[in-house]
Amino acid sequence: MSQKFVIFTDLDGTLLNHEDYSFEDAKPSLEYIKKHDIPLIFTTSKTKDECEILQKQMNITAPFIVENGAAIYYPDGRVDQLGLQHHQIKNFMDRWIDEFKILSFSNMKIEDIMEYTLFSYEQAKVAKSRDFSEPFLIHDERRLTELEQLAEAEGMKILKGGRFYHCVGIKQDKGVAVQRTLKHYPNSICIGLGDNYNDVAMLKVVDIPVLIPHHEGKYIDFELENLIKAPYKGSLGWHEALKKILL
């Protein structure tokens, strides 16, 4: 393999199946990536602790981007922060919880998170502990635009993920985080894989963007001239798309 590649990947609904969070079908590509020393960089809404657990499970040592572009963590301990601190975001969300009938991670019991995500108790506990973002559900999605305007006035924005909306700092951006990380991988061909609207910023800045069908088997409404659409959802689609690119 003469070309140098670096891979940025979303996790939930992309490398991990939406339904069971399994990456079993991706293992052949993961083995190929490890064998050829291709950096695999998680670019996800998940937290630092969640990413570290998954890196151990997959035997990966690489930087990773957390909470929708909030920060880049490097293996040597360096952190490049783009986002606001969690307490700032929580303070904003708490002020509007009653008005918009918001159900946020911070105000959910671990058992509630388990119910909505199908996480185990330990997975839900780790996911609840956030540094830079607040996942939430809103009772009436027609009022989301109002909440977005209020958030923007305070230097925040709302992103749509696979299961939850996410309130984040306005400078939090997967695309910007990818570009910052790429400075450490000069002359590499950059692949990006994602399945949802919070992945669009990442897909726009990579050399080879790959769109995975979301959990209902359909693609989000997004087009790019060089966009590759994976044939299947989840880890199987992830594997099949990378197999065609790398082999």
What pLDDT digit, counting tens, does each position of 155-172 carry? Answer: 999 998 888 999 999 999
Write out pLDDT tens, residues 88-107: 999 999 999 999 999 999 99
Can you give the CATH number for the domain in which 106 is found? 3.30.980.20
pLDDT of residue 162: 80
Structure tokens at 202: 């990442």
Q: Which of 178, 206, 211, 177 is nearest to 194 (CA)?
A: 211
Per-residue pLDDT, 197: 92
Do residue 76 and residue 13 come from a single domain?
A: yes
128 near 135, Cβ under 8 Å? no
For residues 190 and 72, membership in a common domain is answered with yes
Model pLDDT, residue 2 = 61
Cβ 131 vs Cβ 48: under 8 Å: yes
Residues 102 and 208 in one domain: no
* Count of structural domains within the chain: 2
Whether 113 and 158 map to the same domain: the answer is yes
Residue at which a domain ends, from 136, 169, 202: 169
Q: Which amino acid is at 42?
A: F
Please tell me whether residues 134 and 183 are part of one structural domain.
Answer: no
- Low-confidence residues in the chain, pLDDT < 70: 1-2
Distance, in Å, from the CA atom of 238 to the CA atom of 229, rounded to the nearest integer, reads 10
Contact 215/13 with Cβ under 8 angstroms? yes
Same domain, 78 and 104: no
Half-sphere exposure of 90 (CA within 13 A, CB side): 12
Verify that 90 and 163 share a domain, yes or no: yes
Q: Which helix (H) or strand (E) holds 55?
A: helix 48-58
Q: Are 34 and 25 in contact (CB under 8 A)?
A: no
Please provide the average confidence, as pLDDT, over all residues in the chain: 95
Q: What six digits make up the tokens of 42?
A: 């998680």
Q: What CA–CA distance (Å, rounded) separates 223 from 137?
A: 27
Q: Could you say which of 118, 145, 169 is where a domain stops?
A: 169
Nearest to 72 by CA among 194, 178, 189: 178
Do residues 222 and 236 share a domain? yes
Closest C-alpha among 201, 245, 243, 242 to residue 224:
201
Q: Say if residue 149 is in the same domain as residue 211.
A: no
> What residue numbers bound the domain in which 234 lies?
5-82+173-246
Paired with 208 in beta bridges are 191
Per DSSP, 16 falls in state B
Q: Which CATH number does the domain housing residue 30 bear?
A: 3.40.50.1000
d(CA 237, CA 10): 13
**Residues 156 and 198 grouped into a single domain:** no
pLDDT at residue 161, as a whole number: 82
What token pair was written down for 226? 């060089």
Question: Are 178 and 164 in the same domain?
Answer: no
User: What pTM was estimated for this model as a whole?
Assistant: 0.90
Q: Indicate if 156 and 203 belong to the same structural domain.
A: no
Identify the pLDDT of residue 3: 79
- Catalytic residue ranges: 10
Q: Read out DSSP for 106-161?
A: GGS-HHHHHHHH---HHHHHHHH--SSEEEEEES-GGGHHHHHHHHHHTTEEEEE-
